[in-house]
Structure 1
Amino acid sequence: MVESSQSIVQDAIDVAIGERGEIGVQVAAYLDSELVIDQWGGLSDETTGQEVDGDTLFPVFSNIKAMTATALHIQAERGLVDYYQPVAKYWPEFGKYGKDKGTVFDALTHRIGVPLMPVGVTPELMCDWDWMVGQIAEMHPLFEPGTRSGYMAYTFGWVVGEIVRRTDPMHRPFGQFIQEEICQPLGITDLWAGIPPEVEPRVAKLTNLPECPSRRSGNTSGLAAVPGLSAGGGDYPGGVWPF
Structure 2
Amino acid sequence: MMESYVEVSWLNGVLLLYLSALFASYAMFQPLKDLHLLFYAAVISMLSVSLWQDGSLFIVILVELLFFLTLFRYARKTYIVAFCFRVLCMLTSYVIYQGSFHNGFWFVPIQASIIPCWLLYLLFLFFCKSRWRIRFSEKNCLYPLTLYVGNKHFKVIGYLDSGNLLSHEGIPVVFLQRRYLSYFVDERIQLVVMKTVQEESSLPCYTCELKLHGCHKRKVLVHLQEDLKLPMHSELLLNMKVMTMG
Q: State the TM bucket, normalised to the shorter chain.
A: under 0.3
TM-score normalized by the length of structure 2:
0.23
Q: Which has the larger radius of gyration?
A: 2
Q: Which has the higher helix share?
A: 2
* TM-score relative to the length of structure 1: 0.23
